[in-house]
Structure 1
Amino acid sequence: MTAHDARLHAFRTDLADIRLKGEVAAERFVTGRPARISVAVADLRRAPRADSGIDTQFLFGDEVLIFDEAEGWAWVQGERDGYVGYVAAAELSGREAAPTHIVSAPRTFVYPGPDLRFPRSGQLSMGSTVAVTGAAETRGTRYAVLASSETMIAGHLLPIGDHAPDYVSVAEMFLGTPYLWGGVSGFGIDCSGLVQLSMRMAGRDVLRDTDMQVSALGELLDIGPDYSGLKRGDLVFWKGHVAIMTDAEMMIHANGHTMTVAREGLKEAVARIGYLYGGPTAFRRP
């Protein structure tokens, strides 16, 4: 049997994804049941308990496969990035209406009808996907009508398949967003979540965690001790951390120092971070 990363492959000693049969040991193999995330943000936990740590999050409309469901928890795998874990079963629904649009604003509201003066009925993060069935206009503001008959600001949505031209510009939209370990939304985000969500909006799906990104994203750069040669869009990795260069000297990252998404000079960050985590471990150009 070959070794598999349990974050990206659904297997336990009692149960595993049928696609892993012959590759992992398990008592039983099953086919995943398709489902979709039905809440704004669903925490993906490493164990089926409310006090379990959060590894990542899924957003409204994300498609998952359910391999097991018990005591209010579902063991699932995200179809977009392959991450495996447990979500509350109540946060899942079927896949009746196929999404047509993706939220392109960092955060936006859902209304019960086409009027921004109505009390909001929900809120969604960038990266959430919705099914738009119509359009409406009130006092010059255009709304997208959803399959649920609720509405959203049309200018906060893009048709699925449309992409931002520059992932760094997407990341910059999150300046000031609170830092959240495991977060991947406009309500709270961590360093690798910022990379993943920003790149997704620019048309590139990437793996979730820092160690996955440093192993798979783009080309490895040979950067000297003066850090010259970096440019906008390059990634700087530390052990367990990643930042995005906005130009040759400045970077943006979700960090536990400011507890926000913030700009910082690379050399200043290296000096600040070094006493705890050492210097950068890699530079990569996506």
Structure 2
Amino acid sequence: MSDLPDRRLHAYRPDLAEEALRGRVEALAFVEGNPAMVTVPVVQLRPQPDLSASTDTELLLGETVRVLDVAQGWAWVKADRDDYVGYIPDYAVLPDGPVSTHIVTVPRSFVYSGPDLRFPTVQAVSMGCRLKLVGEHSTRGTLYRTLEDGSAVVAAHVAPLEAPPADDFVAVAARFLETPYLWGGRSGFGIDCSGLVQLSLMMAGHAAPRDTDMQEAGLGRAIAPEELRRGDLVFWKGHVAIMEDETTILHANGHSMTVAREPLEEAIGRTERLYGRPTGYRRPIG
């Protein structure tokens, strides 16, 4: 068929496709998919069921997906948050994951084997990970929230899911300064430019597409460069930056290989030779 849907957001193969695409694509069978939950802190989602395939994006602990197929150690999934489609190891999702109660609000934190910072760590978690917390315990003046198995996380590093979101997504993004750049990354352990935009907006209660081209095409509204202010987005071909103020940007970038702060005009001058000048400007909120 011609004019096939974007494979990043629509699940289809010659043998199988999501039910919503019936009549739009050809496939031997169509399925609704089964609900499931991510059960590891961070998992890379790939366009092919192959560990050598590049990473498109990442899914975080507690996020939900639809599982369309499971075969040879891989689950073919569609993320509920942003509709992204791809393959993750099948051990990374379960159909009956715990119902989350809290979300991690700091770039990185730890789950300890018990409510004490001296205890061994069970896992490292990123901002945006979701946990089911059932109790609390104070040790030497530090309050911990506990999981069903007795492990614990620092209470100051999480918030109830029903708590008000952050009121300034730019301040959220700034907390990732010096976080390593990672192609396809979407966590406090490594992040890319559009992942920084998406995750920061999510923590402020705003949905955003995953990739730069999707964000430039439809996130918020287009503005003129002379209108730029804090919270606006500047796009290049394949790149996006967040305005921290009228002259300064925050962005995860391959030049410094970190989330960095730099003057917008310096970034434009530095990148013009390789990537050209900015291609668009958008105001994602308001």
Aligned position for 1:203: 205
Q: Deviations along 1:95-151, whole A, 9 cap, x unmatched?
A: 342111110000000011111110111110000011111111111111111133211
Q: Distance in 1 between matches of 2:96 and 2:135?
A: 19
Tell me whether 1:60 sits opposite 2:58 in the alignment: no
| Letter matched to residue 86 of structure 2 | G
Q: Deviations along 1:144-188, whole A, 9 cap, x unmatched?
A: 111332110011001113300000000000000000000000000
Tell me whether 1:76 sits opposite 2:77 in the alignment: yes
How much identity, in percent, do the aligned residues show? 53
Task: Select the residue among 172, 175, 184 that pairs with 2:174.
Answer: 172
After alignment, is 134-143 or 248-257 more displaced?
A: 134-143
* Kept after mapping to 2: 8 A contact 1:174/1:186: yes
Q: Deviations along 1:69-104, whole A, 9 cap, x unmatched?
A: 111011101011110000011111233421111100
RMSD, matched Cα: 1.1
Aligned position for 2:31: 30
| Letter matched to residue 166 of structure 2 | A
Task: Select the residue among 276, 279, 282 that pairs with 1:281.
Answer: 279
Q: Distance in 2 between matches of 1:206 and 1:23?
A: 25
Task: Select the residue among 213, 216, 233 that pairs with 1:214.
Answer: 216
* Kept after mapping to 1: 8 A contact 2:34/2:95: no
* Kept after mapping to 2: 8 A contact 1:182/1:193: yes
| Letter matched to residue 172 of structure 1 | A
Q: How does 1:49-128 map to 2 (within 5 A)?
A: 49-128=50-129
Q: How does 1:185-200 map to 2 (within 5 A)?
A: 185-200=187-202
Aligned position for 1:151: 152
TM-score (norm 2): 0.96
Q: Deviations along 1:169-219, whole A, 9 cap, x unmatched?
A: 000000000000000000000000000000000001211000000011111
After alignment, is 171-180 or 91-100 more displaced?
A: 91-100
After alignment, is 162-171 or 33-42 more displaced?
A: 33-42
Aligned position for 2:237: 239
| Letter matched to residue 285 of structure 1 | R
TM-score (norm 1): 0.96
**Aligned positions, number:** 282
Aligned position for 1:253: 251
SS at match of 2:202: helix
| Letter matched to residue 61 of structure 2 | F
Q: Distance in 1 between matches of 2:115 and 2:187?
A: 25
Q: Which runs of 5+ in 1 are unaligned?
A: none
Q: Distance in 1 between matches of 2:154 and 2:95?
A: 25
| Letter matched to residue 182 of structure 1 | G
| Letter matched to residue 245 of structure 1 | M
Q: Deviations along 1:46-82, whole A, 9 cap, x unmatched?
A: 1001101100000111111111111101110101111
